[in-house]
Structure 1
Amino acid sequence: MAKKGFIGEFKDFISRGNAMDMAVGVIIGGAFSGIVTSLTEDIISPILGLFGGINFDRLSVNILGEVTLNYGKFITAIVNFLIMALIIFFIMKAVNTLEAQAARLARLGNEQEAPAPTTKICPFCKSEIPIDATRCAHCTSELEQS
């Protein structure tokens, strides 16, 4: 087997499905993060500001001179995180539910009706005999018809 160079290994890595899926996820996640950030900063924070009279983004404390602690932006980042986590939770819950239903349907489709038994056990000698036998071939006991 020939050794692959760095470029060949990188090409194999990039062309694998996992790397492509991850890249798509990162790009969509970045775009989705922008939507959630806008939702928090442009809609939720101003609405909450109506009730409290202030916008969270503007909350800060002056420590020394020009040094300020912008804790309002931190609160906004926490709200962004919680919204993102909640949405991801709902998405994963839906995906898991769909996967469970698909697995259940697959199991139902694969289940076949069990064939009817062709043998039974003699109640006297416990030997296996044909299901329609009237006398045991091993102990010669007469069997009840069922």
Structure 2
Amino acid sequence: MKVINEFKTFAMKGNVIDMAVGIIIGAAFGKIVSSVVNDIIMPPIGFLIGGVNFTDLKFVIKEATGTTPAVTINYGNFLQVTFDFLIVAFAIFMVIKAINSLKRKEEATPSTPPEPSKEEILLTEIRDLLKKQ
């Protein structure tokens, strides 16, 4: 029973719940990103590079015989997934860069200086008294 209580305490911590929500939203967002890459970004890129579809590239180790399928190394699919990852990573990089730029602009705006502490006020008064002497 002690292990169950420890697990319950662990599972109910805010960080674990936040992480679970993030993973669920990330999985749903992954479908959107995949659609953007496959349906919007890749067609123009495929057109520009002559309509090459990387997923069809493969190295045949053994040809198909009868009902036995061919044994292949599908390096084209690997290239396509890697290319998709690079596009997504670059897009996310640009979004993060834009967000950081906005944060820097926000931080650069002048704000009112913080109130001096009691010690600073006291030291300022002492300094002014010493100057008068």
Cα separation, 2, equivalents of 1:99 and 1:5: 48
> Is 1:71 matched with 2:75?
yes
The residue aligned with 1:119 is 127
- Scaled by the length of structure 2, what TM-score is found? 0.65
Cα separation, 1, equivalents of 2:112 and 2:6: 42
Q: Specify which structure has the higher proportion of helix.
A: 2
Cα separation, 1, equivalents of 2:47 and 2:24: 34
Aligned-pair CA distance for 1:109:
5.4
Q: How many correspondences in the alignment?
A: 119
> Is 1:18 matched with 2:15?
yes
Cα separation, 2, equivalents of 1:14 and 1:99: 36
Structure 1, residues 52-80: CA drift from partner, whole Å, max 9, x if none?
13322222232321122222211221122
Gaps of 5+ in 1: 121-128, 134-146
Gaps of 5+ in 2: 64-69
- Scaled by the length of structure 1, what TM-score is found? 0.60
Aligned-pair CA distance for 1:36:
2.2
Identity %: 37
Cα separation, 2, equivalents of 1:92 and 1:118: 49
CA contact (8 A) 1:41 1:76 kept: no
CA RMSD, Structure 1 to Structure 2 (Å)? 3.3
**More relative contact order, 1 or 2 (CA 8 Å, 6+ apart):** 2
> Is 1:130 matched with 2:130?
yes
Q: How does 1:1-146 map to 2 (within 5 A)?
A: 5-51=2-48, 52-65=50-63, 66-93=70-97, 94=99, 98=103, 101=106, 111-113=114-116, 115=121, 116-119=124-127, 130-133=130-133
